[in-house]
Amino acid sequence: MYLASDAEHSSTGDHPGNGRVAMPGEIDSSVEMSWVDHQDANSPTLLRRIATLTRKLEARNHDIDALIHRLDCAQNIADADMNTSVPAPNIAHETDRHNAAHEAAQQQLQDAEQQLHDAQLRLAQAQKMVAIGQLAAGIAHELNTPIQYVADNVMFLDRAFESILRVLDSSLAVVAAAKIGDVAPALIERVEQAAREGDIEFLREDLPDAIVQSRDGLKRIASIVSAMKKFSHPSNDEMAATDLAEIIETTIIVARNEWKYVADVVTDFAADLPEVSCIHDEIGKVVLNLIVNAAHAIGDTLTAEQTHKGTITLSTRRIGDFAEICVADTGGGIPLAVRDRVFDPFFTTKSVGIGTGQGLAICHATIVTQHHGEIFFESAIGTGTTFHVRLPLCAQTTLS
């Protein structure tokens, strides 16, 4: 199964020196987000930027560990010096020296932690830009199909109208002649000729189908637009009573381009599940990440020779004081070796440039930290994976 705990690289750190701890001034904090505004959210350049930020974050983690080690060493040296026989005049000097070194190392640690935090914010913003770009591309593709056949049917109706209008004009001429009692054979022949040239029998059969297809296409467009409006409607980080089934159905429509080629989607919603107090747009993003991961997991198991799709099943149910959302796939399952790291920030099993290792980490933070809920999974190699999201029915949130 593909994981993006993402949703969607290398752990090699870039260090400013060989065999020494990087000073705060040497840690590259020049990466700014201005480049995001000038890059296509799906471009290789943006994905490479995200990979670079990830490597720098890991390098800074290494630097922080090294600074902590220096603090410990400085403290040990200070303790050792205090226990040795040092002439009284030198004790104060040595103490001051070690205290100064300790304070300097602490300041370096604080600076490195701040730079790490800033880099994490930039990386999170870059990941959001990638996700928005992928989502926008999928929605554009979904809208394009119904728009195309509506446009084709409108052109067909335009030509049909011209043919029908010619037959109508000829028929009206016959009616006018009949009123004065002088219907010439030429008028009747003109009506018959217009009917033949316009292929009226063909139009009689195909016009209803064209109208039905156009109506269906417009309904499809309206449903996609409505789903996008619901999905993107901001909650302003406020709790509100929410129908989980509606969130899931909306997200399925928004993510359709991600799963429609590899899987069929099945829903099973508990009829007795009450509305849940939650931040609805954040829960929608969690469901979106889980659907995309499920689609990628199934896609990874399919081959060119296979004609059958996998299945993604989304269900809700009540378990005690919790409402549970389950997202199950028929993919290849999560390898045992990486199961403990699924929700770690920046961990991903996807190829470089595809995932950022943020999706499942964000899901975990949203469910556990913000909503005081639970998220866990069950997986079997060769069978698939089921993610369980549990939200308290009487929820309180912690905004971060």
CA–CA separation, 200 and 188 (whole Å) = 16
Query: Is the pTM here over 0.85, yes or no?
Result: no
Average pLDDT over residues 17-38: 40
Confidence of residue 231 (pLDDT cuts 50, 70, 90): confident
CB-count exposure of residue 295 (10 Å: 0-12, 13-18, 19+): buried
- Strand duo 384-392 + 374-380: pairing: antiparallel
CA–CA separation, 251 and 291 (whole Å) = 9
DSSP code, position 371? T
Percent of the chain with pLDDT over 90: 25
* pLDDT above 80 (res 345): no
| Structure token digits, residue 375 | 């998220």
CA–CA separation, 27 and 70 (whole Å) = 17
Q: Which pLDDT score, from 0 to 100, does residue 51 have?
A: 67
Q: Which pLDDT score, from 0 to 100, does residue 274 have?
A: 92
* pLDDT above 90 (res 45): no
CB-count exposure of residue 231 (10 Å: 0-12, 13-18, 19+): buried
- For residue 296, the SS3 value is helix
Q: List strands edge to edge, sheet with 384-392.
A: 263-268, 310-319, 322-329, 384-392, 374-380
Q: Which pLDDT score, from 0 to 100, does residue 283 have?
A: 93
Q: Which pLDDT score, from 0 to 100, does residue 120 have?
A: 67
Confidence of residue 232 (pLDDT cuts 50, 70, 90): confident
Average pLDDT over residues 368-388: 93
Q: What residue spans of the chain are helical by DSSP H? A: 44-83, 88-179, 185-198, 200-232, 244-254, 256-259, 280-301, 359-364
| Structure token digits, residue 119 | 């880099």
Scan for tokens 């001429």, then name that residue: 173
127-141, 212-226, 313-327: least confidently modelled range: 127-141
Fold of 238-400: Heat Shock Protein 90 (3.30.565)
